[in-house]
Structure 1
Amino acid sequence: MATVKVVLRKDKVNQNTGLAPLYLRIIKDRKSKFISLGVKVEPKYWNEEKSVIRKGAVNYQELNNFILQKRAEAERTALDIEGTTKSATTKRIKDEIIGKKPSNFFEYAERKLSELKHTIAPSTHTTYGFYIGKIEKFLGHKNITFQEMDIDFIKRYEKYLYEEVGNKPSTVEYSFRVIKVMFNYAISEGIVDYNTYVFRQYKFKKPKAVKNYLNEEQFQALLKYEPPKQFLYDVYYDMFVFSCYAGGLRHFDTLELKWSNYNEQEERITKVIRKTKRKHQIKLPQKAVEIIKKYKTKKSKKSDFIFPVLSNDIDYDVSKELIYNVKNTINGKTNHFLRQMGRDLELPFTLSFHTSRHTFATRALNKGMRIEHVSKVLDHTDISITQVYAKIVNKELDKAMEIMDD
C-alpha cells in the first residue's frame, strides 16, 4: 500500500534566500516519487515529526491548511488507483496526482495494429499481435502504461520468457523488438516522452544466429532418402533438394516457380525474389535440372507452377492476406515433413526448408566457389552476410586438421 508524506528537501536549499522546498513523497514497494508543493520555508520552521510549519513563519496557518489538503487529495488518489488496478506504481500515482494521463500500452498497440493492417506484411502484423498477446498473458491484465514498462518490468518479463515459457534467446529478442516498435511509434507521435524509453538504459544481448546445414555425409544420406508418396511429401522432398542445388532458393520462391521462369535452352531460372524484390538469375546445375524435368509434361503451360503444390487456376497475388495464408499453410506442411525426415536421418538439429539455403552456401564454398560468387547466387546485399558461411567452412577445416593429432 502506498503512503504519502510531506517532506522538506534540505538538499535543495536556496543558498541566497535560505529557503527549502516542500514536497509530497509517495512511497510504495520501497520506491519513492516526489511532487513539489510550490511552498518554500526556512528549515527552522519545519516540524518534521508532525509534518507542519511551525508558528512564527509567514502565513503558516494558510500554508498548513494547503499542505493538509494536498496530502489528503494525494492519499485519496493513491487509494483509488490501488483499488482499480494491479499496476499501481509510484510513477502511476504521481502522474495521476499531477494530472498527467499516462498512455496505456495495450490500447495504443491495438489501435496502431489496426492502422498498420494494410501497410505492413500480413505475417508481420500477425506476429506483432501474437507477441503483444504474450505480454498480456505475462501480466494477467491489460492495465499497464508505457511509463510503467521500466527496467524492472523488462527484467521480470525476460525472466518469465526464459524460465516459465522456455523461450530461446532469439524469441526473447523478438519479444523485446515488438515492444521497441510500439515505443518508437508512440514517441514519434508525441504520445510518449523519449525519456521513458526503457531501452535507452537496458541493452539486450542479441544472440548469435545458429545456421544449421547438412554436411557432405548428411547430404549424401539425404539423396538416398525415399520420401513417402503421400500428402505431396515426395514433392516437398524434391523442392528441398532442388533448393540445395539451386542457390538456396527460399521456400516460397521455390514454391511459386513457373515454367515461364525457366529457360530450358540455357537451363536458367529468372525470377523476382519475394524478400528483396530484385530480379534474380540462377544457372541451374544438372542435378537441379533433372529434378524439375520430372514435372514437365506435354500438357505443361508457361503459366503453370513447376512444382504441383499451388493451384494453376488461382491468382495468388489478389491480396496479401491470401498469399500469407497460403504461404503459412504450405510452409507448415513442408516443415512438418522435413522435421520427420530429419529424425529419420538422425540429424542433430531440427530440419527446416531454410536449411537448404545454408546447405547450398557451405557446400559451394567447400567445393571452391569464390565467396563473391556465392554471395551473388544467394542474392545477398552485402558480402559480409555471406562471410558467416566462410567462417563455418573454416571451422570445418580446423576440425579436419585434428586428425593429424591421432
Structure 2
Amino acid sequence: MSIQISYRFVIKKEKNKQGLYPIYLRAFLKGKKIETATPVTIPLRDWSLRNQRVKSQNNYHERYNMILDAIDKKSIKLLVNNFLNEEYPLSLVQFKDRLLALNHYSVEQSFTDYILGYLEENKTKFKTETWFGYKSQISKMLKFKKEILFSDINERFINDYRQYMLNTLSNNENTASKSLRVLRTFVNISMRFGYIKTNPFQYISIKKVDGKRDFLSIEELNKLTDYYSKDNFAKLIEKDILGYFLFACYTGLRYSDLKTFSTDLIVDNSIRLRMHKTGCLVNIPLSKKAKMFLPNITFEGSSVFRVYCNKVTNKELKKIGADLGLKKKLTCHVARHTFATASISLGIPIEVVSKLLGHTSIRTTQVYAKIVDTVKIKEMQKWDN
C-alpha cells in the first residue's frame, strides 16, 4: 500500500461578507478532489500561490501561516499513520473526516470563521432561508464580540450573550432563545468534529414563552375585505399586496408558500402543495371568499400572485392598516394567525384546522385555541342553557 492522497492549500475566488477570500485544503485522489475549510480568510493579493502561504504584507501573516503549518503537519501525520498502521488506504471522505475530528490548530482559532466556512462548504444541504438565517446569526454574534474563538465558547459567554440580546438589542425572550438555539447548533457541529471538547450548554435551559400573536378579528377581516372590493387603490402595489395578504387570511398560507404559489397547485377547487417550511403536504379547499383574491392573470410563468419582498410587503400592509384605523400592526404572518383564530372562532374542529395549517403536531394549533376568547365565552354559555 502507498500513500495515494495528495493535497495543497488553495484560495477560493468567492469572497465572504467581509470582502475576504477563504483558504481551503484541497485533497486529491484518483482524479477526484475534496475540500476542507480553514479559518484563514485574507485579501486575494495576500496569497502566495507558489508558497501556498500568506504573504508577509498581511498584518496577521505569522498567525495565519502558523495555522496552515499546523494543518499541514496533521495532514502528513494522518496519511503516514494510515500507511504504517492500517490495511486499507484512506478515501477522500475518511481523510477529511479524520482531519476535522482532530483539534489541529496549535494556535487560537476563530469559532465564527470556522462556522462560516462550514456553512459555505455545506450550502447545498440547507434550505436557502435557513442558510441565510445562520449567516445572519453569525453577524449578530460578531456585534456582541468582534472576534469569537473556540476557547470563548463557555457557559459564561452564553449567559452574557443572552443578556446582551435582552438588554442591549431589546430582543424579546423568544428571539433571544432562537439565537441561542442556533448557537447551540453551531456548538454541536464544532463538538462533532472535535473543536469543542465539553458541552457549554450542559447546564443551560433555553426558554420558550408564549409570544403575542397578532391576528384580525372577523370584523376587522371583513373591513379589509370590503376595502379591497371597492378597488379604490392609489397604487397597483397596494392592491397586489393586500390581495395576497387576504388570500392568506382565508387559506392560512405562509409568505414563503405565496412566493412559489402557481396555478398548477390549484386542483379541483383546492390548493394542493408541499409547504415550504415543513415539507408537509396539505390540501386546502378554496372558499368563495378566498377565490375573490385570485388574480385573472398570472405573473412570471405560472405564478398566481406578484409577491413583493417581505420588507416592502409589511411596509405597505402597515400603511393600509393605519389608513383604515386598525390598531394592529399588519405583517405577512398576521394572515396565518388570522386564518387559524378565525377558523376556530367559526367552530371548525381544531383537528381540521391543524391539518389545513400543515402542523405536524396538534399542540402547535392549540396555541391559537388559547387566545380566541370568543370561543371560550361561547362554550361557557352552554352552562347557562
TM-score range, shorter chain: 0.5 to 0.7
Q: 1:159–1:393: structure 2 CA closer, same or farther, 3 Å change rule?
A: same
2:208 to 206, 223, 229: 206
Q: 1:110–1:303: structure 2 CA closer, same or farther, 3 Å change rule?
A: closer
- Measure, in 2, the Cα distance between the counterparts of 1:192 and 1:205: 24
Task: Indicate conservation of the 8 Å contact 2:345/2:374, yes or no.
Answer: no
**Can you list the C-alpha shifts for 1:16-43, whole angstroms capped at 9, x where unaligned?**
xxxxxxxxxxxxxxxxxxxxxxxxxxxx
- Measure, in 1, the Cα distance between the counterparts of 2:358 and 2:206: 30
Q: Percent identity?
A: 30
- Measure, in 2, the Cα distance between the counterparts of 1:159 and 1:391: 30
Shift of 1:279: 3.4
Task: Indicate conservation of the 8 Å contact 2:270/2:283, yes or no.
Answer: yes
Q: Tell me what 1:378 maps to.
A: 357
Shift of 1:159: 2.2
- Measure, in 1, the Cα distance between the counterparts of 2:144 and 2:348: 49
Shift of 1:284: 0.8
**Can you list the C-alpha shifts for 1:122-158, whole angstroms capped at 9, x where unaligned?**
222222222222222222x31x433322233223222
- Measure, in 2, the Cα distance between the counterparts of 1:256 and 1:204: 34
Task: Indicate conservation of the 8 Å contact 1:170/1:206, yes or no.
Answer: yes
Q: Tell me what 2:330 maps to.
A: 351
**Can you list the C-alpha shifts for 1:207-254, whole angstroms capped at 9, x where unaligned?**
3232211112322222233573425220111111112112x1112323
- Measure, in 2, the Cα distance between the counterparts of 1:268 and 1:148: 53
Q: Tell me what 1:393 maps to.
A: 372
Q: Tell me what 2:247 maps to.
A: 242
Q: Tell me what 2:186 maps to.
A: 182
Q: Tell me what 1:135 maps to.
A: 141
Shift of 1:184: 0.2
| Root-mean-square deviation (Å) | 3.0
Q: 1:104–1:211: structure 2 CA closer, same or farther, 3 Å change rule?
A: same
1:221 to 220, 223, 226: 223
Q: Tell me what 2:8 maps to.
A: none
Shift of 1:100: 7.1
Shift of 1:120: 1.0
Report the secondary structure of 2:282's partner residue: strand
Shift of 1:258: 2.5
5+ unaligned residues in a row in structure 2: which ranges? Answer: 1-62, 64-104
Amino acid paired to 1:106: T
Q: Tell me what 2:126 maps to.
A: 120
Shift of 1:256: 2.9
Q: 1:160–1:252: structure 2 CA closer, same or farther, 3 Å change rule?
A: closer
- Measure, in 2, the Cα distance between the counterparts of 1:174 and 1:367: 33
Q: 1:151–1:385: structure 2 CA closer, same or farther, 3 Å change rule?
A: same
Task: Indicate conservation of the 8 Å contact 2:174/2:207, yes or no.
Answer: no
- Measure, in 1, the Cα distance between the counterparts of 2:114 and 2:301: 45
Q: 1:136–1:260: structure 2 CA closer, same or farther, 3 Å change rule?
A: closer
Task: Indicate conservation of the 8 Å contact 1:371/1:387, yes or no.
Answer: yes
Q: Tell me what 2:157 maps to.
A: 153
Task: Indicate conservation of the 8 Å contact 1:362/1:390, yes or no.
Answer: yes
Task: Indicate conservation of the 8 Å contact 2:162/2:176, yes or no.
Answer: yes
Report the secondary structure of 1:269's partner residue: strand
Q: 1:336–1:181: structure 2 CA closer, same or farther, 3 Å change rule?
A: same
5+ unaligned residues in a row in structure 1: which ranges? Answer: 1-83, 85-98, 311-328
Shift of 1:103: 4.4
Report the secondary structure of 1:282's partner residue: strand
Task: Indicate conservation of the 8 Å contact 2:340/2:368, yes or no.
Answer: yes
1:6-405 to 2 correspondence within 5 Å? 103-139=109-145, 141-142=146-147, 144-193=148-197, 195=198, 197-226=199-228, 228-246=233-251, 248-263=252-267, 266-292=268-294, 295-296=295-296, 304-307=302-305, 309=306, 330-394=309-373, 397-398=376-377
- Measure, in 1, the Cα distance between the counterparts of 2:110 and 2:301: 50
Shift of 1:101: 5.1
Q: 1:116–1:210: structure 2 CA closer, same or farther, 3 Å change rule?
A: farther
Q: 1:390–1:115: structure 2 CA closer, same or farther, 3 Å change rule?
A: same
Amino acid paired to 1:296: N
**Can you list the C-alpha shifts for 1:312-331, whole angstroms capped at 9, x where unaligned?**
xxxxxxxxxxxxxxxxx622
Task: Indicate conservation of the 8 Å contact 1:244/1:357, yes or no.
Answer: yes
